[in-house]
Structure 1
């Protein structure tokens, strides 16, 4: 039952309404009680007539108890003398020396074994840390009270036997509301049934066989007096224990182990302190993030009290285990997680090991979150984290900076694909796909399943304690004058956790909701704090699923002008724009009208673009820029992702298809080289690649600097083939200018985050160096001008040199000058000369001689300063030349320009790229301008910023 304070003045959950058939039920109720007393009367008469009572019988209820409560010490609780007044309820009240009282009583009864051993056995299970007396046990010996508890709980106690309950008396507190409801109705009927006696028909209906001889009568009023005394006792003695922590938030407050049930309320937020957990599998990893700390309480299971079997007496020879300590208490909680489709509750049991004395609440392994210092701020922090968790799933493609996680929310160390424990975290900064569905599908160890708790029949259990209750004929103790001796029937497991869980299940939106409907549950702020720190993410840079920290995730700011910032020439930009734009429009049309697929054939309608050219001219940057302007992830596949049969390759393409990612196959010549009759593995690899390319419906960029070794089938698979040439002087200067702008922008961000003087770029000197560098390297055959990637690296090194110069003088302002680039040039010059003399030619000439690439350099002449200077806007011609059947015979040094004056789909004079696929009104070029497999584009303008 959920111990929520909203439904009852006592902070208890209201029970189900009591039935309206009270007159009949009251008669039946009293009939059952009278039948019980009649049987007890018969039992006593049998004993008084000489029949020896069975000493192994549990202690019976009192036939005519005095309404009220009798407080007892251990001696009084276990012994009854002729002058003892028997009440309907007896309590065992003791302080820290209860174990001594048990020991003394055991010695008096003739305990076998050395006293020292007995004392050690007793002290191992008795509480020695409680300073003041308190109630340890409650014995109910009224048949009326036991019958009422059966009625409201659905249990089936034997109401002819007394029942003893252990602390924390959760069963009695839990049912108090229903007991009071029943009592209120019975009280209104009592005046009309003041001297009720049970008729023969009622005896038959209830199955009670009353003795023919005289038996004590019972009235409804007597029954109600017993019940009223019980209710007053629970209200005054037990409910204050249950309510002692309500409204408090001081974590320095202390609690006894057997009072932990009073601390928790089902449905409230609890904090898990993993450092205090008794069952940590890996204590060395406690400082690692990933464990879930905020949970929701389902129910709290007090430890199951055990009875003592090692107290042996002269009258019975019984041998039992000699050690008996309390078991663990269990807090059952859940947090919320994503199973790939929806949020589900994930359950976990938190054991609390027994401890002696009192312990601070904040030192427990699990405690209500309100006892956490500054818990309001912590809850707000977890709420924001939960919002970030949901947002990351919604976005899918995000940026991640941080370490991978080794620990899952339930506190277990993650395992790798081979089943071995993950050993180390991995620092990563780059693009990530948050993909729970794909991660869980590919990693069985991460699978979660929602198991709604079904309604279960609630039933408590009792056991017999061998430490007898002795009834004496005289007020002195002697085995010769024992009248009766009974074992005590104790409630070993009151099953309170099942009562609470059953009620909580009916109220909690996640536990009570069927699996198929969990996706419809609306989250509240209190639900958001239950979402985990961990997300399942696919790291595009390393191409693997990992546990990632949600706090390291940020949204990606896509650059819609990424293509415009590349120095690849307007013709190339327009070609790529038109292909990509048309691709997304065709896909949108096919999704809206599936019947069009009948006219397209069985193969997927993907877009394959092959870009060839020497290193560092922007092939990779073109794919990256396309992914930016289309706001899609870029999945780069390398040689390490390829096996002979292409299983991982197919798997990666399947992931990319699901994410809508742009694929980059860099250095594709490694996989798609010429097939031959001598290498079957290579042939299989090429065949697999070609098949996958044909069936992929997304965008694929293939790049190579060795087009001469590609299999001839690649040409027909590519929708466009674009050729990039080495940098000329004009483009070299422009790429230097682009890097200067980027450096200035980065410096502004750097200065806003750190202290120090801003780096000043001597732009005139840097541009002068760019010009001199290009011209000087073109004049020497053993040297090669820097490509775009080398220029970017040079800026990085030169910037480091500029800052290092003023390292010892913090007040000096760093300046990026020509001299810094001269130092970088010395390094590359030495390497270029060494390489030239090693192979006897330039890299371009070497590639040409190997049949790998032609950079349009005349034989014996490596000087490029006078080549490729023509602007495409000055060239006449028509684009449909590209689709001519004779285009392979056409020498494409001068490529016709597209007869438009502005970028595709834009008005005015701005030269910016639009997000493809985001607008339906983009102007579409005729299909003939990029006929399937027929567009081969060569152009002198190149990318400088790869």
Structure 2
């Protein structure tokens, strides 16, 4: 009895809760019905409102009435929504209380109630929701707020996977056509395309479902057709196993579907394209058909047709801009050198839109086989490529011709006729923001191995190497029919005399018997090998520095030649033999035997060589530095105060950069007219004191050769005197010295420039030597006399020289005060 009474008493609150729950759920159902009815009424009212708007659109009262009705309906919807949310919250509270009561049951109440509670919890959870769910937060324009809705799964996305491929057209939000893509669904077709389009960038054939531009597939239509025929033949070959024949038949079928699609969709394109290509013509819309990936394209170097270049095409992209219009951008790669290693640089060429038909060879960029002299151009570019790779490292060269400099999205052309330093590494370090291509790793071709006459699948593939996939299929990488592969390879070696040379090697990198060189003569073997194709697409320019113009430029490889050193320049110096031998010994020892010289107590300090050349103008100070540089065959870096500036903040940076560059090149640094940096410091001029302090500190750690020329050695600061290793004074030229200088310049004109020079007697030379002129003035007088003789078409004679001397003496007289100065001097004497 007691047990039954307890069960009855426990049943009463449970019945009450069930009753409350039923009431709440009934209210929810009524509210939902009311919401549905209100929505239907809202739709009917909206239709009525629309009709009313059409009938009485101009009446203001009707508009106000419509607005009021809409607000009322919206308020009703909002109220019902709030009531529905409150009722749902009540149900949730009831269910939670049921779960808690079920958990607090005592064991004495038996397993029956536990099972009932468990079933109640399970039923409650089933009625409410699963453990997790996916929802989308979407904006509701009616509520003007975000609301949560169940995530709709894409049930129909898998139905397209049953096809070999799908042709998908893309439209923008305005339903305007954008592009067509081919989605490859078949794994067999994808693997076949991976081998047909080997080396093609941007396709993404490693993805599960790659999307490819059908234009790209059309460019490989014949390769696809050939591979299809090969697999059709293999599927009928009785020598192969049943599994292989079946797999080959499947591959042939999938390739055949692709070929059929391309033949059908591009039938009109082929009909239009073939006659145009046969006549060397093209339209802008069909420009994409010219640039098959991995072909060699021909273009110019920064628009200069005198310097052609070639590169390997990656892809052609059609671009649009509301200001620039429409153009094609051809992107590709070429062989580049960054001062450390060879690799592939990237470049692009733009072809502007044009109307009608245009000759292919007149385009800014076109396949090299369309050049009217393609074989000659290829040969010249390969030879230039050999010259480019032979300039690995740092080189002291001579350049004559155009050089280029990129500045503010423009390419400036500068004519350079002088000595240069070819050093891409320093160029990139000094100009980190210069727009130069980064160098990536070189692409190694697997095609360069030994070829076989027949592939393993029995197909004759022209002797090219084949690859095998996971299904046992053998593929042959495709190559352009118009341009046969360039198979020869070369290796770069550096000989002891400083000459770089390319030797031909086989596929394993070994030299042939005809190109073997004594290994003792080889100083450095870079190990880098280059194919003819890489030499063909080598960069036409090399980064470097013009020593005369003081500019960092891109020099054309074709304009670079070896420096012709004037080894007689130092011997022509009119100096005492003792001074000349000391200068030569010091500079030679520092250049060729730096380790044999003593060092400072502090490592790296005081290891430079500083020579001061002082004396009157025109006595050979600058010529001494130039002559010793040519004698030792090292660069001469000339710097003036104008190059460094007089601002202490910029002076330190500029001077440190110049000292580092000169030391890395092994150059002789000539600082001409260096008085401003070496004057004595004083309390009154803090600005000059800062300049002198900076110069002294940087000079202390300079490890190269520095020549300083000045006319005012008496103004030097005392701290600088102890840093001078050699000081040479140049006196005014004596009569004997002037005699030698006159004879030297006149003989030089007669020997090198081919100008007719009349016979000058010994008395003529003595008469010229008595003139009070310096060496620079003698050079200028000889030049002027030569120009006068050439103008009059007469041999250079003493008369021409005297006429020029008279003009120079009149000018000098005017500088000193005119004829009154001469009269005063005569009266004084």
**Could you tell me the TM-score, scaled by structure 1's length?**
0.51
What is the Cα-based RMSD across aligned positions, in Å? 5.5
| Deviation of 1:449 (Å) | 2.0
**Matched residues in 1 for 2:567 and 2:355: separation?**
66
**Cα distance in structure 2, aligned partners of 1:125 and 1:384:** 45
Q: Which has the higher contact order (CA 8 A, sep 6+)?
A: 1
**1:564 aligned to 559, 571, 578, which one?**
571
Aligned: 1:297 with 2:313: yes
Shift of 1:790: 0.6
Which moves more between the two structures, 657-666 or 550-559? Answer: 550-559
Question: Which residue, out of 436, 441, 444, partners 2:432?
Answer: 444
* Structure 2 Cα separation of the partners of residues 613 and 714 of structure 1: 18
Checking the alignment, whether the CA contact within 8 Å between 1:249 and 1:372 is kept in structure 2 is no
Partner Cα separation in structure 2 for residue 534 and residue 222 of structure 1: 52
CA distance in 2, matches of 1:632, 1:220: 69
Structure-2 change in CA distance of 1:557 and 1:242 (3 Å): farther
C-alpha contact (below 8 Å) 1:638/1:665 kept by paired residues: yes
Question: Aligned residue for 2:633?
Answer: 631
User: 1:535 Cα shift?
Assistant: 2.6
User: Is the alpha carbon distance of 1:529 and 1:227 closer, same or farther for their aligned partners in structure 2, counting shifts above 3 Å?
Assistant: closer
2:798 maps to 1:771: no
Quote how far apart the aligned CAs of 1:397 are: 1.6
Query: Would the alpha carbon gap of residues 340 and 631 (structure 1) be closer, same or farther in structure 2, given more than 3 Å must change?
Result: same
Q: Post-superposition shift, 1:548?
A: 3.0
Check conservation: 1:798, 1:820, Cα contact below 8 A.
yes
Asked if the contact 1:563–1:629 (Cα under 8 Å) also holds between the matched residues in 2, the reply is yes
Contact 2:402–2:414 (CA<8 Å) still a contact in 1? yes
**Given the alignment of the two structures, is residue 272 of structure 1 paired with residue 323 of structure 2, yes or no?**
no
**2:189 equivalent in structure 1:** 149
3-state SS of paired residue (2:366): strand
Measured at CA, do residues 825 and 610 of structure 1 come closer, stay the same or move farther in structure 2, by a change above 3 Å? same
**Structure 1 equivalent of residue 606 of structure 2:** 604
Is 1:617–1:788's contact at 8 Å kept on the other side of the alignment? Answer: yes
1:644 has 2:656 as partner:
no
Match of 1:668 among 674, 683, 686: 674
Among 757, 761, 764, the residue aligned to 2:758: 761
Partner of 1:799: 786
CA distance in 1, matches of 2:178, 2:228: 33
Alignment CA distance shift 1:716-1:735 (3 Å): same
Match of 1:815 in 2: 795
Which residue pairs with 2:88 in the alignment? none
After superposition, residues 846-885 of structure 1 pair within 5 angstroms as: none
Alignment match, 2:455: none
Q: Contact 2:600/2:606 (CA < 8 Å) preserved in 1?
A: no
Displacement of 1:368 in angstroms is 1.9
| Conserved? CA contact 1:89–1:138, under 8 Å | yes
Q: Distance in 2 between matches of 1:708 and 1:839?
A: 34
Measured in 1, the distance between the counterparts of 2:262 and 2:416 equals 60
1:246-283, Cα deviation, whole Å (9 max, x unpaired): 99998833457776666555443211379xxxxxxxxx
Q: Cα–Cα, structure 1 residues 629 and 245, in superposed 2: closer, same or farther, change >3 Å?
A: farther
CA contact (8 A) 1:337 1:531 kept: yes
Task: Quote the offset at 1:824 in angstroms.
Answer: 1.5
Shift of 1:170: 5.0
Bigger proportion of residues as strand: 2
Q: Distance in 1 between matches of 2:565 and 2:249?
A: 82
2:165·2:182 contact (CA, 8 Å) conserved in 1? yes
Q: Residue 717 of structure 2: which of 700, 711, 714 is its match?
A: 711
SS in 2 for 1:541: coil
Aligned to 1:848: none
Paired with 2:626 and 2:241, the residues of 1 have a C-alpha distance of 90
* Structure 1 residues 381 and 156: CA distance shift in structure 2, 3 A: closer
The CA deviation at 1:686 is: 1.4
Q: For 1:685 and 1:221, locate their aligned partners in 2 and report how far apart those are by CA, in whole Å.
A: 81
Shift of 1:791: 0.7
CA distance in 1, matches of 2:207, 2:437: 38
> Structure 1 residue 547: deviation in Å?
3.0
> How far off is 1:606 after superposition?
1.6
- Deviation per CA, 1:889-939: give whole Å up to 9, x if none: xxxxxxxxxxxxxxxxxxxxxxxxxxxxxxxxxxxxxxxxxxxxxxxxxxx
Q: Map of 1:293-442 to 2, 5 A cutoff? A: 293-298=309-314, 300=315, 331-350=330-349, 360-391=359-390, 394=393, 396-406=395-405, 414-415=406-407, 420=408, 425-442=413-430
Q: Does structure 1 retain, via aligned residues, the 8 Å contact 2:307–2:540?
A: yes
Larger radius of gyration: 2
User: What SS does the corresponding residue of 1:635 show, helix, strand or coil?
Assistant: strand
Q: Distance in 2 between matches of 1:172 and 1:287?
A: 34
Match of 2:735 in 1: 729
- Could you report, residue by residue, the CA deviation over 1:307-356 in whole angstroms, capped at 9, with x for unpaired residues? xxxxxxxxxxxxxxxxxxx9976643212222232222122345667888
The C-alpha deviation readout for 1:868-893, integer Å capped at 9, x for no partner, is xxxxxxxxxxxxxxxxxxxxxxxxxx
> What is the alpha-carbon distance in structure 1 between the residues aligned to residue 249 and residue 557 of structure 2?
65
Which of the two has greater helix per residue? Answer: 2
Task: Report SS of the residue matched to 2:809.
Answer: helix
Change over 3 Å in CA distance of 1:187–1:547 after alignment to 2: same
Query: Partners of 1:763 and 1:389 in 2: how far apart?
Result: 49
Matched residues, number: 568
After superposition, give the CA deviation of every residue in 1:394-451 in whole Å (9 maximum; x if it has no partner).
5622223334424xxxxxxx21xxxx45686444432221221111112233343235
Give distance in 1, aligned partners of 2:668 and 2:252: 81
2:553 aligns to what SS in structure 1?
strand
Q: For 2:623, what is the secondary structure of its paired residue? A: helix
Residue 529 of structure 1 corresponds to: 536
For 1:627, what is the secondary structure of its paired residue? helix
Q: 1:555-594 alignment to 2 at 5 Å?
A: 555-589=562-596
Quick check: 1:553 aligned with 2:560?
yes
Question: Match for residue 71 of structure 1?
Answer: none
Measured at CA, do residues 800 and 361 of structure 1 come closer, stay the same or move farther in structure 2, by a change above 3 Å? closer
Gaps of 5+ in 1: 1-55, 66-87, 92-120, 127-135, 195-218, 275-285, 305-325, 407-413, 456-498, 502-506, 511-517, 591-595, 749-757, 778-784, 807-813, 843-859, 864-946
Give the whole-Å Cα distance in 2 for the aligned partners of 1:441 and 1:815: 53
SS for the counterpart of 2:530 is coil
Contact 1:400 1:432 in 2 (8 A): yes
Following superposition, the deviation at residue 561 of structure 1 comes to 3.4
Summarize the Cα distance change of 1:690–1:357 in structure 2 as closer, same or farther, 3 Å threshold: closer
Query: How far is 1:802 from its partner?
Result: 1.3
The answer for unaligned runs of 5 or more in structure 2 is 1-154, 168-174, 194-204, 320-324, 445-476, 480-485, 491-524
Larger deviation, residues 818-827 vs 438-447: 438-447
Q: Following TM superposition, by how much is the alpha carbon of 1:838 offset from its aligned partner in structure 2, in angstroms?
A: 7.9
Distance in 1 of aligned mates of 2:798 and 2:700? 50
Q: C-alpha displacement at 1:576, in angstroms?
A: 1.2
| Counterpart among 747, 760, 774 of residue 787 in structure 1 | 774
Q: How does 1:731-746 map to 2 (within 5 A)?
A: 731-746=737-752
Alpha-carbon shift at residue 738 of structure 1 (Å): 0.7
Deviation at 1:527, TM superposition (A): 2.1
**Cα gap change, 1:770 to 1:550, in 2 (>3 Å):** same
1:720 aligns with 2:723: no
Q: Which residue of 2 aligns with 1:910?
A: none
**3-state SS of paired residue (1:731):** helix
Structure 1 residue 687 and structure 2 residue 682: aligned? no
Q: Secondary structure at the match of 1:700?
A: strand
SS at 2:610's partner residue? Answer: strand
Structure 1 residue 452, shift from structure 2 partner: 5.9
Contact 1:173–1:234 (CA<8 Å) still a contact in 2?
Answer: no
In 1, distance between residues paired with 2:683 and 2:165?
97
Q: What is the rounded CA distance, in whole Å, between the counterparts of 2:251 and 2:813 in structure 1?
A: 109
**Alpha-carbon shift at residue 653 of structure 1 (Å):** 1.1
Structure 1 residue 679 displacement after superposition: 0.5
